[in-house]
């Protein structure tokens, strides 16, 4: 029995699936690495905010620290006060814990990551598969203030 070309046919059938798996592994690494940067930037900003004495210009120090920690991603500027959301930017919220009467600072960093390999296909018997062209990432850190205000 002649089986010439069998490995070529198998390669042609499996190659698209192997490419999809390789690209998804690559994308997962990019998304996870960017999420780590966003989370670390929020932590860095909150740390600067709780060790500095509070004054009207201290939010600028927080924003500058977040932008420095996430300089690779260009997270933008301050979006607004508590409860503000957005695609890319920094939200700084100061509050007082009702049980301990401590001043709390919450820094949230939003970043919209453009994916490199968006995939939109229709698979028979499964339906459509749509990998988004953007992924929304957010990192939030809340810390108790270490200075008297």
pTM of the model: 0.78
pLDDT for position 57: 62
pLDDT for position 141: 93
DSSP letters along the chain, please? ---TTHHHHHHHHHHHHHHHHHHHHHHHHHHHHHHHHHHHHHHHHHHHHHHSPP-TTHHHHHHHHHHHHTTTT---SEEESTT---SSEEEEEEEE-TTT--EEEEEEEEEEEEPS---EEEETTTEEEE--SEEEEEEEEEEE--S--
**pLDDT < 70 regions, the chain:** 1-2, 53-58, 118-123, 126-127, 129-130, 147-149
pLDDT for position 42: 94
């Amino acid at each position: 029995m002649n089986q010439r070309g069998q490995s070529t046919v198998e390669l042609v059938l499996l190659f698209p699936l192997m490419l999809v798996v390789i690209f998804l592994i690559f994308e997962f690494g990019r998304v996870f690495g960017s999420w780590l940067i966003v989370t670390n930037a929020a932590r860095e900003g909150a740390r600067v905010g709780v060790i500095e004495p509070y004054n009207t210009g201290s939010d600028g120090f927080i924003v500058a620290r977040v932008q420095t920690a996430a300089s690779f991603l260009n997270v933008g500027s301050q979006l607004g006060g508590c409860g503000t959301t957005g695609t890319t930017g920094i939200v700084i919220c100061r509050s007082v814990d009702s049980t301990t009467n401590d001043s709390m600072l919450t820094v949230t960093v939003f970043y919209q990551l453009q994916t490199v390999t968006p995939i939109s296909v229709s698979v028979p018997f499964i339906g459509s598969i749509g990998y988004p062209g953007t992924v929304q990432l957010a990192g939030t850190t809340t810390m108790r203030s270490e200075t008297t205000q």
